[in-house]
Copies of this chain bind each other. A is one copy, B any other.
Amino acid sequence: MTRILIVEDLADIRKWLTGIAQKAFDAPHEIETAATLRAALGAARKNSYDVALIDLNLPDGSGIDVLKCLRQSRPETLCVITTVMGDDAWIVAALSAGANGYLLKEQPSEVIVRQLSQLADGIPALSPSIARRIMEHFQYTGPVGEPDANLTGREKEVLALISRGMRNVDVAEQLSMAESTVAHHIKSIYRKLGISSRAEASWHAARLGLAPGQPGG
């Protein structure tokens, strides 16, 4: 039994999504709908779902809140954003909140059905343009070196920490070294990357895949 939640304010689109869900998940399923943020949050708190299709633009708020709520109460729920808004800011916000997919409603039904049916295999449901947008987020027009960029092991450790916003003192404590040593490593990093500030270092750290899970020291 697949339990599905559809969050969408417009009645006809809600019906359209319901039809898509019925085709995409051919096992016996149970579809519930919500037209407002309030209703969606209530449903999310009361019941548990296997899949959720969430519109971002709700009359009384943003679907991001539904997504966050579902993530908290039941992390296994597969949450897919279904919207017309393709702004980078919303894409990033949805992914940050842990969306398993991001589909644009302008797509033909059969494409959405196919994407949703692949969800169970662990394949994220992403509209082509969204996937491309996400990948372009990583694009870099400057020189792309090998992942290590000739940084030594210790330097990469320091870079990862200062890019999280930690101060030299905190990095020193974290890595059990003197603050002066941290400063020395940072100088080497700056020289190798051709930069001269922590903000640039943070940018490069993300590019080098030393991605911080979250900031703050």
Contacts and interface: CB of A to CB of B under 8 A. Distances in A.
Interface of A: 62, 64, 68, 87-93, 95-100, 121-124, 126, 128-129, 131-132, 134-135, 137-142, 144, 146-148, 162-167, 195-204, 206-216
B200 A165 contact: yes
Contacts of A213: 139-141
25 contacts: A64-B144, A64-B146, A87-B147, A88-B209, A89-B148, A90-B147, A90-B209, A92-B206, A92-B209, A92-B211, A93-B144, A93-B207, A95-B135, A99-B135, A121-B128, A123-B128, A124-B126, A134-B135, A141-B213, A142-B216, A195-B216, A198-B198, A198-B199, A200-B216, A202-B203
A170 to B, nearest CB: 10
Closest 4 CB pairs of A and B: A165-B200, A89-B209, A89-B147, A95-B138
A139 B140 CA distance: 21
